[in-house]
Structure 1
Amino acid sequence: MVDSATISTPIPQAPGGIPVLGHVLPLLRNPLDFLASLPDHGDVVQMRVGTLRLVVVCDPGLTRHVLKDLQTFDKGGPIIARIEEVLGESSVGTCPHSAHRRLRTLVQPAFHRERLPAYARVMTANFLDLGWHDGQVVDVPAEMGIRTVHTLVETMFSDKLSPETTARVLDETATALREIYRRAVRPPVLDRLPLPGNRAFDRAGVGIRGVLGDVLAARRASGADPDDLLSALLTARLPGAEGAPARAGDALSESEIGDQLITFLTGGTESSASTLAWAFHQLGQHPDIRTRLYEELDTVLAGGPATFEHLPQLRLTANIITEALRLYPPAWVLSRTVVADTELGGHPVRAGSMIIFSPYIIHRRPDLYPDPDTFAPDRWADGTVSGRSYFLPFGGGVRKCIGDQFALTEMVLGLANIAARWHLEPVPGATPGVQIGVSLHPRNLMMRVTARHHPPTTSE
């Protein structure tokens, strides 16, 4: 608790607000440029979305403070509220602090490092089986999405989806994540209107849960018990609960398991697919880096597939993924609710206030990342980049994305296996853009593919 009488500096207002709507228009038209302009107005800036006042934290140190002080800055805010409409209230990614420790303890074993080699074998197999041919023009984000959906479903359920169901999941996930952002930055009264976006959002949430329900029902009907992510969730128990009489809360409930599965599917599909697509886009703009990548892959892999065991040697490959995550962080804007009166940067912040912070803002600061708009994987080569401690593509603190190592493994193996075999070249005249949603998804990213080597198999 802080004595607000000792703090008299008001929070500066972001420019560009208008009556009634506040800053809704710049947040819908060009949110990245708008957010990137806010540090010029202070370390902490206030803006409005309709009647809702939001406190935007622009300073890296203050951002890290918000991430670490869970007692004061709890999960919440307009973005979290919208995400919960899809993921459910017991998602480990969006639940309040009071529920997080138990949920994370139960879910964490599914992502234990010992499980990564088995998951990696699924990843490798999925990125080898592309079905491309020389000269084909591919929709890179869509192709990456197909691979990541298959990986998530196989690691969750030890099962595969039909092409039709895969396309449905991709479309509904993209719709849900796009509409979550739009709903978060516009007046809530619009949510109740029969607008096309509202109807699409409702259908997407129902559709995603329907697919997961069908796969789960088929799994139970088969009676199989493979060593997959679902099994880890079904058998998870709190420490000390193994072998003891069953108590409420010692294990995940049916609804809690469903919320975690939809969290993994929606979060893991979009973030990994988008990052891989952005990496190929940047490589197409920087042929010198792409040539060096080919040299690394040809040397390390010697014509075979990239596997979990190769990861320590794939240094440039990993740095390319890291740099793509810096430029296009999956969790590009996050929110918190202030639980108790406090202060940030010398400004009073009242309980109940909504806090916004953005890894996109932090990752584009020139004091942390020289030439911040430049794609420069070598900035990560020696491990001394000044902004490393403020690198937040998956959030930070104990609320950091629980599947970050899973995602990083998938992205590095995906980039390695595709680039080792395929040369992707930009299509003349195509102008890629950013589709704003919960993540920064590439739009109109078409590239022409040419085989570099004959596809290896996982047995080679």
Structure 2
Amino acid sequence: MTISSDEARAARTAPPGPPRRATFRLLKQLFTDRLALMGDNAEAYGDVVRIAIGPKAMYLVNHPDLAKHVLADNAANYHKGIGLQEARRALGDGLLTSDGETWKTQRRTIQPVFQPKRISRQAAVVASEVDDLIKRLAAHDGPVEILHEMTGLTLGVLGKTLLDAELGGYETLGHSFEAVQDQAMFEAVTLSMVPQWVPLKKQVEFRTAREDLRRIADELVEQRLANPVEDGEDVLSRLIASGSAESSSRERMRDELITLLLAGHETTASTLGWAFHLVDEHPEVGERLHAEAVEVLGDRLPGHEDLRKLTYTVSVVEEVMRLYPPVWLLPRIAQADDEIGGYHVPAGSDVVVVPYTLHRHPEFWADAERFDPGRFAGAERPPRYAYLPFGAGPRFCIGNSLGVMEAVFVLAMAARDLRLRKVPGKVVEPEAMLSLRVRGGLPMTVHPRERRLSDAA
């Protein structure tokens, strides 16, 4: 067989990666430990790695300059990829899964809701919701499931700040989104080779969850149509104003709402779960958080201006997101041939930027596994694309400022009033789904503490 010069060049410039004989090990990691799959190969083969599993080849990108190329400089060549494609079955063509002109139109419609001035005006709403949370936690006698509480909080905040709606009555939302994540990742790792009609427990739960999410989205739209908001600044009002009552427009609104409900609560809830775990593991951090909260806030609720004063708390949140970025994987599909780091990447290839490994790159992070909020406390910041908790480029997370404000308020107010301790024997492990969450929940005991101004001295 004759090999063309182009084929020979492509072969010569293919990135390094694990050999074919490692397929069984790679498949096992893909199913059971996706973080190790990414981390082990980045450590073994460098900043561009070709991981071939069966008929698929995945290109791992693990350097700030190369992440910038994929996510920003040549972003038009990279559409949404593995995991998000599978999630489209539940999320439809929402902002998280859409591409091209559809995505641009959706982004323009929703963007004004996230303008800094509007988000700053929501600080009192966020603080009030967090205050209710702290009171609920303080009233617990026995262990409390922290991740459940964080999900309830973040959904409540999302409803009131972005939708001008009350989501407290939709208690199935958290479970439904968990089923969506489970099914999307299952389809991704099985290459969608398991027919959707097969009555596996996971697939049955997914179908039920999808119908539940569609029902809730439709109810929210109907409620807003029946009770319009005067200023019309919220997401629901903007979606309705941008479309019509036609079926195609209603389907688009449903897709956007389901996507917003998932992305708007899951990432912040996951971050807070990891924050409480890490603060419990490092009591000295909890004491510094407590001292700062007492000094800055005293007995009052925080306002938006306090984000500039709660500097250590912000650093803790940033370091939590470095170690456990809620969006741990940024998957793309190359639309045309490209060159990344001197290596050939064919059109149609799955290309993944992995914040989880990038945030541990030894060239940019010393003693990377150590939890150290001091990394973000000084004037020197890490390179822009070495730290991607909210992604980068045109698809930079639209809700980042609201998420950070919410996480800072929760951490400051909880540290001021409470000590949270993990239940003895609880093993905390990451579970890499669409978000990076704590596997199996996070039960903790709650212990009130006094607000002594002298503690801040």
TM-score by length of 1: 0.88
**What does the per-residue CA deviation read over 1:6-59, in whole Å, with 9 as the maximum and x for residues that have no partner?**
56322223257656x783321111111121111221322122344222122122
Residue 342 of structure 2 is aligned with which of 322, 339, 346? 346
Deviation at 1:254, TM superposition (A): 3.3
Which residue identity lines up with residue 449 of structure 1 in the other structure?
V
> Could you tell me the percent identity over the aligned residues?
31
Q: Does 1:12 align with 2:16?
A: yes
d(CA) in 1 for partners of 2:45, 2:19: 9
**What does the per-residue CA deviation read over 1:122-171, in whole Å, with 9 as the maximum and x for residues that have no partner?**
211111112232643111111111100111122233232345x22x1011
SS of the residue corresponding to residue 190 of structure 1 reads coil
Residue 200 of structure 1 is aligned with which of 195, 198, 205? 205
d(CA) in 2 for partners of 1:307, 1:233: 29
**What does the per-residue CA deviation read over 1:95-140, in whole Å, with 9 as the maximum and x for residues that have no partner?**
2234333322222101111111232222111111122326431111
Instruction: Answer yes or no: is the 8 Å Cα contact 1:423–1:452 preserved in 2.
Output: yes
d(CA) in 1 for partners of 2:226, 2:105: 29
Cα 1:10–1:16 shift into 2, 3 Å: closer
Match of 1:172 in 2: 176
SS of the residue corresponding to residue 425 of structure 1 reads strand
Cα 1:191–1:400 shift into 2, 3 Å: farther
Match of 2:131 in 1: 128
d(CA) in 1 for partners of 2:397, 2:306: 24
d(CA) in 2 for partners of 1:279, 1:272: 10
Comparing 368-377 with 210-219, greater Cα deviation is found at: 210-219
d(CA) in 1 for partners of 2:55, 2:65: 29
Deviation at 1:291, TM superposition (A): 0.5
Please show how residues 129-278 of structure 1 align to structure 2 within 5 Å.
Answer: 129-130=132-133, 131-132=136-137, 133=139, 135-162=141-168, 165-166=170-171, 168-192=172-196, 193-225=198-230, 227-235=233-241, 253-278=249-274
Q: What's the RMSD between the two structures over aligned residues?
A: 2.5
SS of the residue corresponding to residue 194 of structure 2 reads helix
Q: Does 1:406 align with 2:402?
A: yes
Instruction: Answer yes or no: is the 8 Å Cα contact 1:93–1:401 preserved in 2.
Output: no
Cα 1:92–1:223 shift into 2, 3 Å: closer
Cα 1:191–1:309 shift into 2, 3 Å: farther
d(CA) in 2 for partners of 1:220, 1:177: 30
Deviation at 1:78, TM superposition (A): 2.3
Cα 1:363–1:118 shift into 2, 3 Å: same
Q: Does 1:308 align with 2:313?
A: no
Instruction: Answer yes or no: is the 8 Å Cα contact 1:157–1:216 preserved in 2.
Output: no
d(CA) in 2 for partners of 1:402, 1:147: 20
Which residue identity lines up with residue 400 of structure 2 in the other structure?
D
Deviation at 1:60, TM superposition (A): 2.5
SS of the residue corresponding to residue 340 of structure 1 reads coil
Deviation at 1:295, TM superposition (A): 0.6
Cα 1:22–1:37 shift into 2, 3 Å: closer
d(CA) in 2 for partners of 1:128, 1:452: 15
SS of the residue corresponding to residue 414 of structure 2 reads helix
d(CA) in 2 for partners of 1:308, 1:17: 55
d(CA) in 1 for partners of 2:50, 2:255: 33
Which residue identity lines up with residue 187 of structure 2 in the other structure?
R
d(CA) in 1 for partners of 2:129, 2:195: 38
Instruction: Answer yes or no: is the 8 Å Cα contact 1:24–1:186 preserved in 2.
Output: no
d(CA) in 2 for partners of 1:316, 1:11: 41
d(CA) in 2 for partners of 1:134, 1:152: 24
Deviation at 1:260, TM superposition (A): 2.1
Instruction: Answer yes or no: is the 8 Å Cα contact 1:38–1:45 preserved in 2.
Output: yes
Match of 2:445 in 1: 448
Deviation at 1:387, TM superposition (A): 4.1
Deviation at 1:220, TM superposition (A): 2.0
SS of the residue corresponding to residue 278 of structure 1 reads helix
Which residue identity lines up with residue 24 of structure 1 in the other structure?
L
Match of 1:240 in 2: none
TM-score by length of 2: 0.89
**What does the per-residue CA deviation read over 1:300-359, in whole Å, with 9 as the maximum and x for residues that have no partner?**
001111221211101111111111111111111121111222211222111122212211
Comparing 285-294 with 423-432, greater Cα deviation is found at: 423-432
Comparing 32-41 with 425-434, greater Cα deviation is found at: 425-434
Which residue identity lines up with residue 312 of structure 1 in the other structure?
R
Which residue identity lines up with residue 287 of structure 1 in the other structure?
P
Tell me the matched-pair count.
Answer: 437
d(CA) in 2 for partners of 1:17, 1:363: 29
d(CA) in 2 for partners of 1:260, 1:299: 41
Listed as ranges, the gaps of 5+ residues in structure 1 are: 238-245, 455-460
